[in-house]
Chains A and B, each alone.
Chain A
């Protein structure tokens, strides 16, 4: 499968957007560890914004950045949302309520509990009636999202926006599913090369025959291993380096996804 990257968004501890992160990922500027800062997003009305948790905020932030980078109109783009766990914090508040005697769940918490909550808020925020899918594939959620978005782009879409994101659970679930930080990546993908294309991606699914591509910066490597969405960091590093590159991402069932990155 051959597709093109037209826009990138990224957000994580010490990674504040693609423009600022590009030199860090390319190895020409040092990585400085810092707490995750989610830039304010005025797309949602204040009442809706108050109701959203970190997953929604991260997804919207990286999605907006990638769409702006691609100079596209978000309302026209089909969207793919990929996350291992969705909004864990909100889910845990529901579990606590259900374990108590009254079991009176907040209706807002309930509708925010669906895995596609970020997709719902995105479509409201961007007024997009385009198709949107939300998927999960445990630690391979970014890869599954990349494949789905690529297949959508090839199916006749002009462009598709992929948002992959995760946010940590709180205790007690954090102990059994540690996700080390809030993190998100977004890509605008197209089937055809445009004047704004950054790179061509040649994607293949193969039986696993080697280790997945690491990140040389130690802190980012632990982020890659600690957050499912951050498994996409080697792809961003390859895009940042702007050289021909071949990366390998772990997938499921003993498979890996090989991505040949050819800068445009």
Chain B
């Protein structure tokens, strides 16, 4: 059986300036026992609704044109001076009538995602190949349908304090609601769960799928993430002083916070076969780690991010030089970008082109991981390294090779980072199918 490693010790891809960090890191490394590579999984189908539009083509066109999906906040009665990446029209698109119990903004967004890119058709075909019980479903979300609860709290009974009778916890607020909804929408009946590790949620689901397929508990998996705008995240990030009053500017010297967005993305993952072509997009590696540092501030030296990156490279059987482009977490906060830059620079030096696409999409929180995995897949398919938007003056203290302009060239392998509250880190490595399919 092929084994899936998650986290490994440092590999020697460092310049002299990083020796001290490396030595420190070595002490903290304890997973060197895992040497085996990830079994390659193919992105058979994928779909995305992001603030750049519905369907992967909308996101691709906007990236090619250097267009941002961020706009001044007009969400309900939010009174914050900020920009958001909002999906328009969800208010008028209730969920399918047989699933009305699940109607909430988050599940409406999930449904809109499932309706794009002939994704439902691809799942129907997969059901025919495997049987509905053999397709797993692993989705990430950070806030599920809690917008419904936030609004219900405004309508509590004046005497009893009870929530309005129309409030449905199970179909909206419940952290599992989105997987339950999507499983029924797609007619699946395999293993299922929601991963909720803040902003790394929908990156970590790729690891779950790989492990579950490896363990033989399913033959294929739908992974994804859905997160929708709500008051808790807008006012919560604002309370931490992390919400920018301008469209976010990752890696800019003047960056001052995030722009919050919403998105839904889904990927059908299947084992690579002898027929897998060289133009197929493959999941080559997943690396996970914890910061063990602070609940809402990343490790200042980016040690957690760094070990996740190295674990993903190790799982892919690759070295830093094999990566063509890095899609950064790059939120636009002072601390995230500084810590992530240290992590990336320590592994890649200043050679590997990297950028954050959050200037275009905003921070999609629990949907960030899958959105950026899909953007990475589009980069491989279309030969694109997207330049980061909104950034005017690169922070001179950051040393990674941050792209401000789009580059059109062959992209074979991409690393994508997702770093979350609670010190939860996950890096993915995607690449082209190799000749003759997977191992």
Contacts and interface: CB of A to CB of B under 8 A. Distances in A.
B183 A98 contact: no
Contact of A252 (B28, B168, B180): B180
A144 B240 CA distance: 33
Contact of A115 (B30, B142, B162, B423): B142
Q: Chain A interface residue count: which class?
A: 35 or more
A94 interface: yes
A131 B7 CA distance: 7
B215 A135 contact: no
B198 A114 contact: yes
A154 interface: yes
A94 B197 CA distance: 19
Interface in A234-264: 251-255
A111 B195 contact: no
B189 A132 contact: no
Interface in A78-117: 78, 84-86, 91, 94-96, 98-99, 103-107, 110-117
A144 B174 CA distance: 15
Interface in B120-168: 133, 142, 146, 149-150, 153-154, 156, 161-163, 167-168
Contacts of B183: 252-253
Contact of B215 (A95, A117, A121, A154): A154
Given A114-B196, A156-B34, A99 B3 contact: no
A155 interface: yes
A158 B289 CA distance: 16
Contacts of A133: 195, 197, 204, 207-208, 288
B211 A110 contact: no
A115 B5 CA distance: 25
A176 B239 CA distance: 29
Q: Chain B interface residue count: which class?
A: 35 or more
A151 interface: yes
A96 B214 CA distance: 44
Contacts of A157: 6, 34
B231 A98 contact: yes
Interface stretch (B50-58, B67-75, B293-301): B293-301
Contact of B424 (A78, A110, A132, A254): A132
Contacts of A137: 176, 179, 192-194
Contact of B290 (A106, A131, A135, A251): A131
Contacts of A207: 133
A123 B195 contact: no
Contacts of A76: 30
B215 A150 contact: yes
Nearest to B425: A131
A173 interface: yes
Interface of B: 1, 3-7, 28, 30-31, 33-34, 36, 79, 133, 142, 146, 149-150, 153-154, 156, 161-163, 167-170, 173-176, 179-180, 183, 188-198, 204, 207-208, 210-212, 214-217, 231-232, 235-240, 288-296, 303-304, 307, 420-424
13 contacts: A104-B235, A105-B235, A105-B236, A110-B232, A115-B196, A116-B420, A124-B295, A126-B292, A130-B7, A130-B290, A147-B217, A155-B4, A205-B191
A151 to B, nearest CB: 4
A22 interface: no
A123 B232 contact: no
A176 B170 CA distance: 9
B155 to A, nearest CB: 9
B116 to A, nearest CB: 24
Contacts of B188: 253
A111 to B, nearest CB: 4
A138 interface: yes
Contact of B174 (A85, A123, A175): A85
Given A78-B6, A129-B304, A156-B3, A116 B197 contact: yes
Contacts of B424: 116, 119-120, 132, 134
B169 A177 contact: yes
A137 B170 CA distance: 11
B176 A176 contact: no
A114 B422 contact: yes
B150 A98 contact: yes
A137 B175 CA distance: 8
A158 B295 CA distance: 27
Q: Which of B28, B156, B189, B211 has the most CB of A within 10 A?
A: B211
B241 to A, nearest CB: 8
A97 to B, nearest CB: 8
A95 B235 CA distance: 11
B153 A130 contact: no
A127 interface: yes
B160 to A, nearest CB: 8
Given A172-B163, A176-B163, 13 more contacts: A95-B232, A110-B236, A110-B237, A110-B239, A110-B296, A111-B236, A114-B197, A116-B421, A120-B422, A120-B424, A134-B197, A137-B176, A255-B189
**6 cross-chain pairs, A with B, having the tightest CB-CB distances, nearest first:** A120-B422, A110-B236, A115-B196, A131-B288, A136-B175, A155-B4
B289 A131 contact: yes
A121 B208 contact: no
A152 interface: yes
Contacts of A78: 6-7
